[in-house]
Amino acid sequence: MSTVGMVGLGEMGGGMVLRLLAGGHTVVGWNRTRAKTEPFVAAGMHVADSPRAVAAQSELVITMVTDNAALDAVIEGPDGILAGLGPGKIFAEMSTTAPALMRDLAARVGERGATLLDAPVLGSILTLREGQLLVMVGGDAAAFARAEPIFLAIGSKVKRVGDVGQAKALKVAANLNLAVQLIALFEGVLLAEKMGIDRAVALDTLLNGVIASPHMKYRAPFILNPPDHAWFDVGMIQKDLELALDLGKSSGVALPETAIAQQLMTAARGLGYGKEDFSVVFHALARLAGIERDPAGIPPYARPDAVRA
């Protein structure tokens, strides 16, 4: 494909642009805040004036946005992506959004003569930088074959998992684990700390045992050395947990641990941690355990009144 479009230049979308450029692809992009396009322009990206213009100039256009509402904002209206699509084009929606929304969108994209691929990713900012993302794809097999080389420029593993909507469902199933597994690890660390074991020692030991996953290994250390900005904040993980709970309700699958994780994230938000990386739930649990009683004893980044760069 001669030109790839990217709508949404946040941490993940912007990182994808850099990988595409490094792979020799021509990239045209758009972001709601135009100033955020500047570093990508410096790297070689072309800027379009609207999502419609991105779609019109691209053979494959990708969206990577925060939620359903943000997706609606970039696909609808005279300047939206749908207005710029035409016969033979591919629209790859890579955000974490509702499966039902994808099925409806696929029909509307088809009316333009284009094809929708439902293509969320598993991984983080770190795995994206390292080229280790897993791209899960739902949709037409022929369109997938055309788009696969683009996906392989973004991540090391690309897998077609089924039809439109099914990749999003699998993504939601994966993301509920991010919170549930991390909370279980944090409970173990706090139990060990309550028994007099140093927090760092407990964390290091657990992360080098059989219970550790790649996700735990890069995110759990944030309780000792937080990132300079949230990789995935409390509000974002709550959105994904809500998607999981909605899907569980509609499909008749009980998700009790997911529901508990959602409530603990609400507790973290109530303590003022809503914009922090969701690993901050550790400090909410620590306060419940009486380990971090006084706000003065809570790590500065996790204090409700903290000012972050």
Least confident among 23-32, 127-136, 163-172 = 127-136
Same domain, 93 and 180: no
Contacts 24+ apart (CB under 8 A), 285-288: 285/183, 285/186, 285/187, 285/190, 286/190
The percentage of the chain sitting over the pLDDT mark of 90, rounded to a whole number, equals 76
Residue 304 pLDDT exceeds 60:
no
Same domain, 71 and 211: no
Q: What is the CATH number of the domain that holds 282?
A: 1.10.1040.10
End-to-end CA distance of the chain: 39
| Mean pLDDT, rounded, for 237-266 | 96
Same domain, 135 and 9: yes
Residue 308 pLDDT exceeds 50:
no
Same domain, 89 and 231: no
Same domain, 15 and 134: yes
Same domain, 135 and 14: yes
Domain boundary among 144, 162, 180: 162
Same domain, 27 and 91: yes
- The full 3-state SS of 51-77, as one line of letters, equals HHHHHHHCCEEEECCCCHHHHHHHHCC
Same domain, 257 and 120: no
Angle between helices 11-22 and 141-154 (to 10 degrees): 90
Sign of the CA dihedral running 109, 114, 115, 120: negative
Tell me the Ramachandran region of residue 52: left when phi exceeds 0, alpha when psi lies from -120 to 50, beta otherwise.
Answer: alpha
227 falls within a domain:
yes
Domain boundary among 130, 162, 194: 162
Domain of residue 34 covers 3-162
Residue 215 pLDDT exceeds 90:
no
**pLDDT, tens digit (0-9, with 9 covering 90-100), for 29-55:** 999 998 899 999 999 999 999 999 999
Domains held by the chain: number: 2
Same domain, 133 and 193: no
Predicted TM-score (pTM) of this structure: 0.86
Q: What is the CATH number of the domain that holds 147?
A: 3.40.50.720
Same domain, 37 and 151: yes
307 falls within a domain:
no
Same domain, 153 and 192: no
The CA R_g of the chain, rounded to the nearest whole Å, is 20
**pLDDT at position 218:** 84
**pLDDT at position 272:** 84
Domain boundary among 138, 162, 186: 162
